[in-house]
Structure 1
Amino acid sequence: MEKPRFVIPLRVESNKGRILNGLLVVVAVLLSFAYLQINLVEAFRSLPAFVGFFVQNFFPANFTNIRSYLPLVAETVLFAIVGTYLSAFFAFVCGLLMSEQTNPYPLVRTSVRMVISFLRNIPVLVWASLFVYIFGIGNMVGLLALTVATLGFLARSYADSIDEIGSSKLEALRAAGASYWQILFHGLIPEFIPSWINWTLFSFEINIRASSILGMVGAGGMGIMIQTNIRLFKYREAFALIILLVLLVLLTEFAVNQLRKRIA
């Protein structure tokens, strides 16, 4: 009896497509470098001068005024906390209006999605610059910029998560005569809570970094002091703040990961 022969098909067409896509990416990158007139060779040549300038002017970091920096660290964290969870509340409401599971009116869903898309596609620094022009320099600018920018991101994420929840449980509640609020609190929210926690914590991590950057346009926090020190050529004081910022980000990531594990 002849043994069956196993033939491994060669996906020639698939491999040709991958090679073609790879070549297109390489060509696009090279054309981008040419259009932007970026000279990588010159950049690598200037790297030793940059390192020398950084070592000479930024080392060692000056932590003499460390106590005066701590309120700035607190401001940065509080910006992220208030901005994240204030936007999380409004984003949940917008997510309900954007989801087919909870909103049967297409016109309302489309209108809210258009507004959220507008908010989401404007960078947080642009929001901060606009609010500085309207309200002047201050903590309110940072809070508003973070809240508006995070609202657009979270609302879209929440709406997608709500849409992914199986409709069978919600339909069963509707068939049993449950009201809208009973369906919301007993059917939707228990299923949605894990996604809400993950997306909100992820946004909090991002906002820790963003709140420090916002300070560079006058929105308070650590960023404004980093910018001030650099403008005054106090590089060692600025480097001390940068180190504090890095430690703050790392500590936040560690704490958020531990919180996720405990919740899971």
Structure 2
Amino acid sequence: MPKTLKRSHQIGFTVAGIGLALVFFSCWYLEISPMDLLLSFPDFISFFTANFLPPNFSDWQEFLPSVLDTIFFAIVATYISTFFAMFFGLMMSELVNPFKPLRVVFRGIVSFFRNIPVMIWASLLVYAFGVGELVGLIALVIATIGFLSRSYADSINELDKSNLEALKACGASPLQVLWHGTLVLFKPSFINWTLYCFELNIRSSTILGMVGAGGIGVLIQTNIKLFRYETAFGIILIVIVMVLCSELLTNKIRERIH
């Protein structure tokens, strides 16, 4: 066996061993017993089959407005965030913005948006603005700006710099360099990241309802609190179908564009 391959295997086993040790230590620290989880699994299955099955779709007409709210949340949040994220992404990119202090400032702002989970944003905004759809929308926009800005900036930095240098050598203006040397080449990544973020926002807008920020999550939370588990499970299945449809739609859009 070659030395490089042998060393690679040794590193792999070492990393796996350290990871396993961390898992056991974490379980010990959190007082979690894997055996208890295994022994309680049959009880979970029994509870689930007795209370959640069969799913109840009898009130599906009442679910429809909340489903539409969730979809429109994702559409509006993604659309609004794209404009802000594009600006932040360009300002964070070394390829576009040569001023390091300015890049650091924008990266700090984006990191602040990005590192706070959307549920935390929603919880804070609920205290500030009260329960409602506006809170969910603002929380989604803030979180999406953080995610897309970082994704856009990293994708722009990966572009080939030789195109920019060639355009500058030909006497192109800064705007022409930005358009032909950056934005045109960045278009495929822009589409992929934006569509991916739309899929994430469909899921996130569902979860936001759990804290009273609107969307179909409110119905799930309400029915669980009222012990209407069959109805709650029916809504959850609708959410799963909605997420799968959004993934199929975005994949079709990617195929048509590329």
Q: 1:126 aligned to 2:126?
A: no
What's the counterpart of residue 70 of structure 2? Answer: 76
Show structure 2 runs of 5+ residues with no match. none
Cross-structure match for 1:258: 252
2-structure distance, mates of 1:12, 1:247 = 47
2:52 and 2:8 mapped to 1: Cα distance?
52
How far is 1:44 from its partner?
1.6
Mark the runs of 5 or more structure 1 residues left unpaired by the alignment: 1-7
The separation in 1 between residues aligned to 2:211 and 2:23, in whole angstroms, is 32
Residue 13 of structure 1 deviates from its aligned partner by 4.1
Separation in 2 of the partners of 1:94 and 1:214?
25
Shift in Å, 1:12: 4.3
Distance across 2 between alignment mates of 1:21 and 1:107: 37
Aligned residues: 257
Residue 202 (structure 1) aligned to one of 185, 193, 196: 196
Separation (CA, whole Å) in 1 of partners of 2:12 and 2:56: 52
AA aligned to 2:93 is S
Q: Does 1:182 align with 2:176?
A: yes
Q: How does 1:1-264 map to 2 (within 5 A)?
A: 8-10=1-3, 11-264=5-258
Deviation at 1:177, TM superposition (A): 3.0
Alignment partners' CA distance in 2, 1:225 and 1:236: 12
The two structures, once aligned, show a CA RMSD in angstroms of: 1.4
Q: Which amino acid letter does the alignment assign opposite residue 150 of structure 2? A: R
Letter in 1 for 2:219: M
Deviation at 1:203, TM superposition (A): 0.7
Q: Distance in 2 between matches of 1:13 and 1:158?
A: 36
Q: Deviations over 1:85-122 (max 9, x none)?
A: 21111100001111121112111111101111111111
Q: Secondary structure at the match of 2:38?
A: helix
% identical aligned pairs? 50
What is the TM-score when the length of structure 2 is the normalising length? 0.95
Higher Rg of the two aligned structures: 1
How far apart are the structure 2 equivalents of 1:140 and 1:16? 53
1:63-85 Cα offsets, whole Å, 9 max, x none, are 11101111111010111111112
TM-score of the aligned structures, taking structure 1 as reference length: 0.93
Instruction: Determine the C-alpha separation between the residues in 1 that align with 2:8 and 2:214.
Output: 53
